[in-house]
Structure 1
Amino acid sequence: MSTRTDRRPQARRGRRYDKHETRAAFAFLSPWIFGFLVLTAGPMVVSLFLSFTDYDGLRETSNVGWRNYEQVLTDPKLRTALTNTLIFSVLAVPATMIVSLWLATMLSKVGRRSTGVFRTLYYLPEVTPKVAIGVLFLMLFNGQVGLVNAALGLIGIDGPDWSTDGPWVKPGLVLMHLWSIGGTVIIYLAALHNVPRDLYEAADLDGASAWQRFRHVTLPMISGALFFTLIVQTINALQTFDEAYTAFYGSAASASYSSDAALFYVVYLFQQAFQFLHMGYASAMAWLLFLVIMLITFFQVRLSRRFVYYEGGDR
């Protein structure tokens, strides 16, 4: 009886302690919860409602049913914008991952003290405003006076007109996109440092070449980081806006640029919402983009089961 009596106060103290921890956890989470509800979930619900209206921000809204979504499926300019975005994503995501992995591999061979300096240098472009990168694009990739074509001319190559020649617009933007890959480089560098050294030693004993060590040891052990950056970079590429809009649709550039080669999905969404005041149609476009991102992410997650290595040895 005494044992049971002793356990009851302990159980009550344990429950009080658990409630105290729960309240403390919610207190720490409350800023994020408030931000999510007010800045993310709330606007998403409002945009879903607006996608069924002809709201323009000035007049009273009226329900138009599925008309906005029907227009989304038949708008030829939207198809152009979506095609441009997908092409850019197919070019930019692999380029970002390959160049970042190459740089991270080079950094992993540098001494620990020097690595900190290089990490800082590589990450600095990440804090550069995207608008500045768009302006930098016009300065570097100008067909007549740009530094890129000037450098190509030194080795006898006549560079294209990156900013006006349609087929070269997206490759030029991909090259500018590589300016801010420092965050991905740091993620890969951390993953490379976590690869057990004894695996490389075992591979050396088996006579594996450098490529075989990279393929059969390095890639499987950092596959989790590769998968994470694949999803993040894909979402970022599908939402590309700042650089393209600043370089091609800003007040200075729009007067001389008439091609749709840089008309990305979010650029067109922005035009519909804030230039033409078609808020309802823009909301429907936003939800279409959300569904596209969800589908692509779903297929990436399904495919990852074959290629991502986990600590337990499962794939």
Structure 2
Amino acid sequence: MSLQNQTVVREFIMMTFNNTNTGRFVFFFVLLLVFLITLIGNLLIIVAVYFDARLHTPMYFFLSNFSFSEIVVTTNITPCMLHTALHGVVVMSVSGCITQYYIYWVSTCTECLLLAVMSYDRYLAICNPLHYSSVMSHRLCLHLVVWCWLTGIILQIIEIVPLSKLSFCGPNIIDFFFCDLAPILQLSCSSTSFIETSDFILSFPLLVTPIVFIILSYIKIISSILKISSTIGRKKAFSTCSSHLMVLCTYYGILIFIYTSPSTENAFTLKKVLSLLYTVLTPLINPFIYSLRNKDIKLSIRKTFSMLK
């Protein structure tokens, strides 16, 4: 059947929650609470790093940008999920859905690159401490952060342009928490081979390469820590990267499982649950990991609260 005789879909309908009204209301309030705590937690880290001169170091500069990226992710996706939980359904234009997907993946790719940059920072601090200050200058930190954002923004355009030219002829129901690539491509009546190929190719510079770089960095970091003779010295060296390592395991563990799991019905349900954890709980957990395990952050947050009183 020709496209002229088919209905052109201009809106997508998200129907993720099939439970009762009571269940949806409970989920709505829990999700709203998590959303507010996530925003406050990440904003506190940004404010603390900005106003406390003791935190004007490369690691905290990268951390504040990571927190900002987490805010972008959660504000891009959670409001739509709240609307769906409250009303049972949300209608989104095709362009709005593609825009949500673009913002989500720009933020995700930026976070992957920032985590790699933070690994490099920890590598220099532990493996080459004498040259750390001269190498990790303010100028280099700024360039690294700018390029992390620009790389995600520019490379995702390669995928978003052909994605915006796809035709959608029905059905138009998305059974997912947000507009990810797979649900969008499933609804298209155009050829999606180019987009799938470009998505696979882009995964190397944006996802695979940072993971390999992080693994190699931590192999050298752990090797250097084990060479330290004193137990106190080893503990102190490991404590400087333990929070980052916990975030790495949480972040990449869920992300890798989501996008490598098989496309069976049971796996799709699990993928939905993991996507919920990744987009909602991961931005919530990260501020707690850094603040609860970091004395400087805790002192700075207390100082910030005392200034607000």
TM-score scaled by structure 2? 0.29
TM-score scaled by structure 1? 0.29
Q: Which has the larger radius of gyration?
A: 1
